[in-house]
Amino acid sequence: GNFWTGVSEDAVSGHIQLLIPGETACFACAPPLVVASGVDERTLKREGVCAASLPTT
């Protein structure tokens, strides 16, 4: 479910925020992070981590 997703999303979100300079770099840092963390790509987009950075461009 979404319980474990919250924990992973927390760690991933922290990494993404540090890597993202405030632009559409999400796509560039998401794939490696997802693979390294073992989190599903859809999970990241679902949580709104990437979506939140896209409109902030």
Catalytic residue, from 16, 20, 49, 50: name it.
50
Residue 53 burial by Cβ neighbours in a 10 Å radius (0-12, 13-18, 19+): buried
| 26 belongs to the catalytic site | no
The number of beta carbons lying within 10 Å of the beta carbon of residue 31 is 12
Encoding tokens for residue 47?
Answer: 């949580």
Catalytic site positions:
50
